Structure 1
């Protein structure tokens, strides 16, 4: 099987030899522009992609293609109907980032509660040097113990964040599924969760039901001084409303690993340095070495299964 990897950039510091070992030929490109896709996939039976788009036109134009492996969970960059119509199998990677993302969320939560970045900046500005006592306590420090965490989206990621939060002594509330009128006994309505939680953490997918789920009205429901964490998808939180809630002081702080445009080449309202107690990380929560190596391992498993006449993690 001849294989081409269209965008290795987020994985090219890892060992890709396990993929090379299970195919006859592997051609790798760090990135692939839209106009290069058709030429680069021509003649290959296996295409491996992360974010490069394989639309109906490109899929129908190739005759050799039999298998598409997506080195991510989301497959919105693949026209699944076109692949299915041509008998092309599409497989993805699943569950690889649970521990990495949950760890990142707890790191953001701890940084907000301890005002870690504020103290780091204060020390580098010489504030501790000028202090009249042995310590510096210019920013209020809060403990996680006894606080209430509200989780919206209770898949594998939500479960792991809840487990870690309970280790810190937090109480955990789980929201009912967005858009659903059915509220299971072990869950609460989103409106109730927003009103009761000291910290709200988002782990739901971006859908038509969740787009702008956390808007100005939802933020107004949150407790004064509470925190919001988004390690899910940009677009779930209305960014203008979040800036307003932070600048007004209604929210005590927020942290996001995602923005509506990534990378934010044209800027973003949340990049304003005047916004208080906002932490932004560059969609890196998933990116631990272990998580990314798991993606490689799962891709190898997907290829082996296909070559043996079976399918793993098939999505079409």
Structure 2
């Protein structure tokens, strides 16, 4: 089988081994592929592995040999699914490979906001501790998480992991989900009650028409002035102009984001200049261990397709 990997650098920037995939056929790996390069590179491909490179209907129509697309991610909005189905192309994705890593990053963002470790470390290396009259000083208010309320919008694999960590920190956990069910240690509440009562709101729901800009001017206005917002889900869950305004006006105290509505962001994204906003470049999923799992599960998906019993099919 001829296998083409269109944007392999995302999954494997050089610290992983492609052997699990390369054993399955004749593999050609490209670190990145521009839109205009895809058809030529994949012209003989029977299988394509892709992370974020876009496979439009026009592109797929020029790939008559293509039988399989393996998405090396959970989301597959970069694939024209209707076109793939019409051409009889099987599309698979990988789920739940990074739940622990994303939960870890959620708390990394939260701790960056409440402890400001980097700020204080930079201060020490700038000589401020050596020149201080006191044995201890702080550059910003420090906040204890124990006793605070963590509000989770979404309670799937990642949200559940975040809940466990929050409980271990001694936080109270409340949650909103479209179809609530009892979960020990977690109080299920309405969306309005969650925004109103949470000290920390963390987004872990899928992006749908219903959840798009679920964080907006009205929901932000209902939050506590000292509340923090975290997003390791999808950027469009937040109206970024409304959030930037809320941070500037002190409507809420801070935000920690691993995702934005457009990635990479444009220079005029208002959050890039908003106060008390920590932003990381969509890396929550990308720990070494998570990418190792993703590599193996990607290979497993392709192998089951070759064996005639595909799994994790989304087409």
SS in 1 for 2:296: helix
Measure, in 1, the Cα distance between the counterparts of 2:23 and 2:143.
51
> 1:277 offset after TM fit, Å?
2.0
Partner of 1:72 in structure 2? 73
Deviations 1:261-296 (A, max 9, x none): 111244421111xx3321110101110001111111
Partner of 1:155 in structure 2? 156
Measure, in 2, the Cα distance between the counterparts of 1:124 and 1:241.
36
Partner of 1:17 in structure 2? 19
Partner of 2:90 in structure 1? 89
Deviations 1:71-107 (A, max 9, x none): 0111111111221222211111111110110000111
SS in 1 for 2:96: coil
Partner of 2:141 in structure 1? 140
Deviations 1:30-52 (A, max 9, x none): 11111111111111111111111
Measure, in 2, the Cα distance between the counterparts of 1:81 and 1:198.
42
- C-alpha contact (below 8 Å) 1:183/1:189 kept by paired residues: no
- C-alpha contact (below 8 Å) 1:5/1:49 kept by paired residues: yes
Partner of 2:285 in structure 1? 286
Range that drifts further, 208-217 or 182-191: 182-191
SS in 2 for 1:240: helix
Measure, in 2, the Cα distance between the counterparts of 1:78 and 1:37.
13
Range that drifts further, 55-64 or 194-203: 55-64
Alignment of 1:177-196 (within 5 A): 177=178, 187-196=188-197
> 1:126 offset after TM fit, Å?
3.2
Residues 38 and 203 (structure 1 numbering): CA distance in 2 closer, same or farther, change over 3 Å?
A: same
- Please provide the CA RMSD for this pair: 1.5
Q: TM-score, normalised by structure 1?
A: 0.93
Partner of 1:101 in structure 2? 102
Partner of 2:4 in structure 1? 4
Partner of 1:205 in structure 2? 206
> 1:137 offset after TM fit, Å?
2.5
- C-alpha contact (below 8 Å) 2:43/2:65 kept by paired residues: yes
Measure, in 1, the Cα distance between the counterparts of 2:118 and 2:243.
19
Residues 278 and 167 (structure 1 numbering): CA distance in 2 closer, same or farther, change over 3 Å?
A: same
> 1:183 offset after TM fit, Å?
6.0
Partner of 2:215 in structure 1? 214
- C-alpha contact (below 8 Å) 1:67/1:88 kept by paired residues: yes
- C-alpha contact (below 8 Å) 1:2/1:45 kept by paired residues: yes
Measure, in 2, the Cα distance between the counterparts of 1:122 and 1:235.
35
Partner of 1:276 in structure 2? 275
Unaligned 5+ runs, structure 2: none
Measure, in 2, the Cα distance between the counterparts of 1:103 and 1:146.
20
Range that drifts further, 78-87 or 44-53: 78-87
Alignment of 1:51-70 (within 5 A): 51-70=52-71
Deviations 1:96-143 (A, max 9, x none): 110110000111112211122332343344332332210112422111
Measure, in 1, the Cα distance between the counterparts of 2:126 and 2:246.
27
Partner of 1:239 in structure 2? 240
Measure, in 1, the Cα distance between the counterparts of 2:118 and 2:198.
23
- C-alpha contact (below 8 Å) 2:119/2:139 kept by paired residues: no
